Structure 1
Amino acid sequence: MNDDSSIVRLAAMIREETERLRPGDRLPSSRELMRLHGVSPVTVSRALARLAAEGRVITRPGSGTFVAPAVARTGGTADLSWQTVALGDRVVDDTDVIGLLTPPPDGVIPLTGGYLNPAMRPSKALSGAASRALHRPDAWSLPPLTGIPELRGWFAQEAGGDITPSDVLVVSGGQSALTHAFRALSAPGTPILVETPTYPGALAAARAAGLRATAVPMDRGGVRPELLAEAFAVTGARVFFCQPTLHNPTGATLSAERRGQVLAIARAAGAFVVEDDYARYFAAAPAPASMISMDAHGTVVHINSLTKVLAPSMRVAGITARGPAARRLRASQIVEAFFVARPLQETALEFVGSPAWPRHLAGLGVELTARRDTLAAALTARMPAAEIHLLPRGGLHLWVRLPPDRDEDTVVEAARRAGVLVSPGRIYYPAEPPGPRIRVTHSAALHLPELVEGVRRLATALEGP
């Protein structure tokens, strides 16, 4: 009998013995096992090591070998509570974000979400672009770590102004860009200013980076510059996160004048502006120039993502910055992810350089306008007690204030039971919300009749029992 088979055989016999004993019972000593089974010290040692790895025995040097507790022996749920102490009190909370990413159950109408429904995505054209990209000889080779030059050039052109390809870093989607920006520009424990309300994914990323999100109020024109200046002065923050075009969730768009004021205030505070330009392709009318195109001092870090306008798995974005901030962002990308997969970058470049891109944008603009108008009309007709914050010049959502006597969570839960999903307003605030709100999305429903039916169900939920 060779050594390996002796180990297996001895381990099997000891395993059977542990089943007959109680947790904590002492097993025969190594010397006794050698005598009983006629094996070498090495065989005994390795057999016991195998059983210890299985969680069946515990070896205590100088005391002997004992039957392990039942949970460890049977493979039941282990007590992992020790990790709470080891991990500390920092929490990475995905609750608010995961609700926006979870597909609705069958029969439930989604009036929430951040992506185009399948019928609105250019799936066929994307597949064609992917096929062409994968036929390139270098499709699977290592890309430049900051992104393939042509794609960086395209993002630079979209940003406008004097931005060059060397200012752009290609990353894995807008959420990744936010995470990189927050970690690169702020130290854990420091404040970050955000519009209020604001995108829940930004709040989650800020908290995961150990930052304290501080609210700056808005009106229908966007963030209020005088309150932004006050917030910088009071908090000492060095970063302001904003969505100046078709803000999520309110739909507000900053005028060119206010954009200039925000830049001047941030520069005076020695602070960065993280410009999330997520909705630049959802505007029904031309939006003012991007803030980074107006910036001559390296104040703005600009994010432009292709995910929302194309498909959830097109996780490609450009993050633009200059100076030491750009160098730190590049280092963050390399340390965390090395680079974005070249086939995905090549596919994105193929698509935006093809006739399918302007065709998609033109058709999308018409469809989103029709959906916005249909949603607004249905809400006005079915829910007169609720108030639409404003009718945005494009975008994917409407921000709705509920009657003050309504409980937001109750309405959202009643809507779910009625077969329609909406986003609760509380998840868009870094602190206590000012009153009951919901965000209602028109891009996730399959078609206009489903959109109208979703509002009917929502109205039923608002009426309550």
Structure 2
Amino acid sequence: MHIEIQRNADISLTKQIYHSILDHIRSDLLEDDLQLPSVRELSKQLGVSLVTVVKAYQKLEHDGFITSVQGKGTFIRKTKIEEAEKKEGTLLYDWQLSVQDYLPRSQFARFHQVPEKIHLSSNMIDPGLLPNRYLVQEIHRMFSEDPKVLSQYGEIQGDRALRQAMVEYLQRMDVPTSPDNILVTSGSQQGIDLVARTFVGPGDVVVMEAPTYPGAIDVFRGRGATILTVPVDSDGMRIELLQNLCDKYKPKIIYTVPTFHNPTGAVMSLKRRRQILELARSIQCLVIEDDPCSEIYFEKKPPASMKSLDQDGHVIYLKGLSKILAPGCRIGILAASGSIFKRLLAAKANTDLGSPLLTQKAIIPFITSKRMMDHLKKLRTALKIRRDLVLEILSQQSPEEVSWFIPKGGLNVWLTLPSWINTDHLLIEAKKEQITFLPGSACYPTEQENHHLRLSFSYMNEQQLTQGVTTICNLLQSAIALKINQDSSPHF
């Protein structure tokens, strides 16, 4: 188990150890009943005092994640999260625990593909709303016209025709770029990873929103970054707090999802977008603008992208096509300029020598035709209906102690519960009903808030949404009623 200690961070060493072990547990990187290092061993390994480790272990035990057995040691106990089933033959692989790894966390993958019947945890789009049939036809046509497409490597930077098509597509969204400044990636997740592996090393400061996209947290934590967070309100990242962090720490990267923020759904105002760019210019840092679904707006178009406001090459723009078009294609693009782009291209070459040519070719006819615009219009209509359904159920059936942000686009609704409700525990009860959601704890890089959850309304049909959201409301009603009864009971 690798624990990265950052001695210059504002977070205490005890909290760093606590969160690191907790991230390992929640990411299933530490198995149930696994023995942790002794207090003395871990303090020596990390170069910290015995008291620091003791306090971290005590908090983990108090929160129910580990248990100490007198004379035997300290062991993982997953009572606060879903216990993994014991698999036959596991003992054969116990030796593997001696192999050191450097993964601090990998939480998002746990909620991406799940066995539950009602899947509200990952913001994918219902396959029935995607142009599957047309894309299949294009693949057949491509094979008939160019049967050698499978025996060719594509350009490392990405197919030239696709890059040109993406320039025209992005121009309709007021995102200026050129084919030479576009890099085709295997989804926007690879774009985040390329930026991190190119520009982030142990101790480098990365500023993120709180909450934020869990997949980005996993990547930056994996690079050993010192992550600092800025809370989000209805207008996005709070600039006055960001300014304070920038003045004190001079971050290398600011990562933001300004349009239909994941997970809250907030839209950053145009004023704040400009202010972040000014900050980036003043301290010479990079801004990663992650844009997963700005096309999915329900009322009016969102403000101009930060990339469109950038004159000096500070913004690295990421756009994924997987969600809105073809998840199986895993196509995304990264737009940057200058030497920043050249270094990212080199990182792409080192990673995979280029994304698959077949899937790149398959989507070109669609995104260059009127069909794409028609598809997006229908998609906005269908998802607005589903969003409105979820909001209606929440309004009618959720406890009055529960609040939520009304998203004006995107794929998710962010709920805030009473502070004493831990959504990690609530998820266990939901899974018993074959329902899953994303607990808020996965969305916080540092100081975790456990009383939030994200409901994705884009993947399930209306009947499944009704059943799933109604069940979650019932679970919340029961939890609050139980709390009221406990508080009102006489204590002896």
Smaller-chain TM-score bracket: 0.7 to 0.9
Shift of 1:98: 1.7
Instruction: Name the residue aligned to 2:149.
Output: 139
Q: Would you say 1:266 and 2:276 are equivalent positions?
A: no
Shift of 1:81: 4.3
Instruction: Name the residue aligned to 1:299.
Output: 314
Shift of 1:170: 0.6
Describe the SS at the equivalent of 1:176. helix
1:210-263 deviation line (CA, Å, top 9, x unaligned):
222211111111001121121122222110000010000110111211111111
Query: Within 5 A, what are the aligned runs for 1:211-360?
Result: 211-284=225-298, 285-360=300-375
Letter of the structure 2 residue corresponding to residue 216 of structure 1: V
Query: Within 5 A, what are the aligned runs for 1:28-67?
Result: none
Indicate the percent of aligned positions where both proteins have the same amino acid: 28
After TM superposition, the score normalised by the length of structure 1 is 0.78
Letter of the structure 2 residue corresponding to residue 430 of structure 1: P
Instruction: Name the residue aligned to 2:134.
Output: 125
1:339-383 deviation line (CA, Å, top 9, x unaligned):
011111101212212343222111100011111111011011111
- Whole-Å separation in 2 of the counterparts to 1:420 and 1:385: 22
CA contact (8 A) 2:421 2:450 kept: no
Describe the SS at the equivalent of 2:327. coil
- Whole-Å separation in 2 of the counterparts to 1:179 and 1:416: 31
Which residue of the other structure, out of 184, 187, 190, is the alignment partner of 2:198? Answer: 184
- Greater shift in the superposed pair: 319-328 or 427-436: 427-436
Q: Would you say 1:429 and 2:444 are equivalent positions?
A: yes
Describe the SS at the equivalent of 1:265. helix
- Whole-Å separation in 2 of the counterparts to 1:268 and 1:101: 38
1:7-59 deviation line (CA, Å, top 9, x unaligned):
xxxxxxxxxxxxxxxxxxxxxxxxxxxxxxxxxxxxxxxxxxxxxxxxxxxxx
- Greater shift in the superposed pair: 164-173 or 151-160: 151-160
Instruction: Name the residue aligned to 1:4.
Output: none
305 and 110 in structure 1: CA distance in 2 versus 1, 3 angstrom threshold: same
- Whole-Å separation in 1 of the counterparts to 2:145 and 2:186: 21
Which residue of the other structure, out of 99, 103, 110, is the alignment partner of 2:119? Answer: 110
Q: Would you say 1:91 and 2:107 are equivalent positions?
A: no
Shift of 1:451: 0.9
Instruction: Name the residue aligned to 1:21.
Output: none
CA contact (8 A) 1:372 1:442 kept: yes
Query: Within 5 A, what are the aligned runs for 1:154-169?
Result: 154-157=165-168, 158=170, 160-169=174-183
Gaps of 5+ in 1: 1-74
CA contact (8 A) 1:307 1:316 kept: yes
Instruction: Name the residue aligned to 1:100.
Output: 111
Shift of 1:92: 4.6
456 and 76 in structure 1: CA distance in 2 versus 1, 3 angstrom threshold: closer
- Greater shift in the superposed pair: 154-163 or 429-438: 154-163
After TM superposition, the score normalised by the length of structure 2 is 0.74
- Greater shift in the superposed pair: 423-432 or 399-408: 399-408
- Whole-Å separation in 2 of the counterparts to 1:199 and 1:273: 15
Shift of 1:161: 4.9
93 and 434 in structure 1: CA distance in 2 versus 1, 3 angstrom threshold: closer
Letter of the structure 2 residue corresponding to residue 122 of structure 1: P
1:111-167 deviation line (CA, Å, top 9, x unaligned):
221211222222111212222333443623232221122211232330645411111
Describe the SS at the equivalent of 1:283. coil
Which residue of the other structure, out of 417, 426, 430, is the alignment partner of 1:402? Answer: 417
Letter of the structure 2 residue corresponding to residue 340 of structure 1: S
CA contact (8 A) 1:100 1:114 kept: no
Which residue of the other structure, out of 453, 459, 464, is the alignment partner of 1:438? Answer: 453
CA contact (8 A) 1:134 1:343 kept: no
- Greater shift in the superposed pair: 326-335 or 378-387: 378-387
Instruction: Name the residue aligned to 2:394.
Output: 379
Describe the SS at the equivalent of 1:310. coil
Instruction: Name the residue aligned to 1:16.
Output: none
Shift of 1:403: 1.9
Gaps of 5+ in 2: 1-90, 483-492
1:182-233 deviation line (CA, Å, top 9, x unaligned):
2222223312110110000000011122222211111111001121121122
Shift of 1:411: 1.6
1:315-334 deviation line (CA, Å, top 9, x unaligned):
11110111111011000000
CA contact (8 A) 1:245 1:254 kept: yes
Shift of 1:78: 6.7
Higher Rg: 1
- Whole-Å separation in 2 of the counterparts to 1:207 and 1:133: 41
Which residue of the other structure, out of 412, 416, 423, is the alignment partner of 2:427? Answer: 412
- Whole-Å separation in 2 of the counterparts to 1:277 and 1:182: 17
Aligned residues: 383
Shift of 1:390: 1.8
